[in-house]
Chains A and B, each alone.
Chain A
Amino acid sequence: DGGITQSPKYLFRKEGQNVTLSCEQNLNHDAMYWYRQDPGQGLRLIYYSQIVNDFQKGDIAEGYSVSREKKESFPLTVTSAQKNPTAFYLCASSTDRGPGNQPQHFGDGTRLSIL
């Protein structure tokens, strides 16, 4: 079945540590996205990529970094510069073809907490 796989499901970060969240899709989608969700809140865009080797900052990119070396993969690194990383992280993808009504497809998310 086609879909988006995020791993791990739960992640704990120590003070001063960088951690990387994995996102893989086999939907052959060009665009991929990372969102952050705080408890009781909506999703906020961290980074997005519309093509391999290219990505743009979203609304809350500070303290995060990404790479897009393969079409299928869009890992997110939460750096030590992100002082409040505890949140639910959702990865999504969408096709770039068509009239624009194609929805984003989401993974099951990663819950990140500080130790």
Chain B
Amino acid sequence: AQKITQTQPGMFVQEKEAVTLDCTYDTSDPSYGLFWYKQPSSGEMIFLIYQGSYDQQNATEGRYSLNFQKARKSANLVISASQLGDSAMYFCAMREGIGTGRRALTFGSGTRLQVQP
């Protein structure tokens, strides 16, 4: 079974509009963390935002926010006021076993976002 599922291969959004990128996850571990990364066409991976399984509030970082619904096992990324520079691939990733030594991430297949002027 897929641990991280991103069901939207591609998304379009108008400049200045908000967009939600979906991510659902599967784990039986009570302690985990969810990360979102942005990958421009140049290839580097840019960290955007983090949500821990025990965090009481949804994470926010500037124009990025995370709609975390623990019971539904979803961690959707919301980008407000889209900019042309937001056009990129976006990956959701999970780290299980927070508090143990393992820090490797499991990634979803990504969503390609295109912002239109």
Contact = CB atoms under 8 A, between A and B. Distances in A.
Nearest to A47: B104
A76 B23 CA distance: 30
Contacts of B105: 33, 43, 45, 104
B60 to A, nearest CB: 14
Contacts of A50: 101-103
A31 interface: yes
A61 B110 CA distance: 22
A42 B109 contact: yes
* Size bracket, chain B contacts: 20 to 34
26 contacts: A41-B109, A42-B4, A42-B91, A42-B108, A42-B110, A43-B105, A45-B106, A48-B103, A50-B103, A88-B43, A90-B45, A92-B45, A94-B103, A96-B103, A99-B52, A99-B98, A100-B33, A100-B103, A101-B33, A103-B47, A104-B35, A104-B103, A107-B44, A108-B43, A108-B44, A109-B43
Interface of B: 4, 6, 9, 33, 35, 37, 42-45, 47, 50, 52, 91, 93, 95, 98-99, 101-110
Given A45-B104, A103-B47, 11 more contacts: A35-B107, A42-B109, A43-B107, A90-B45, A94-B103, A99-B52, A104-B45, A104-B47, A106-B44, A107-B44, A109-B43
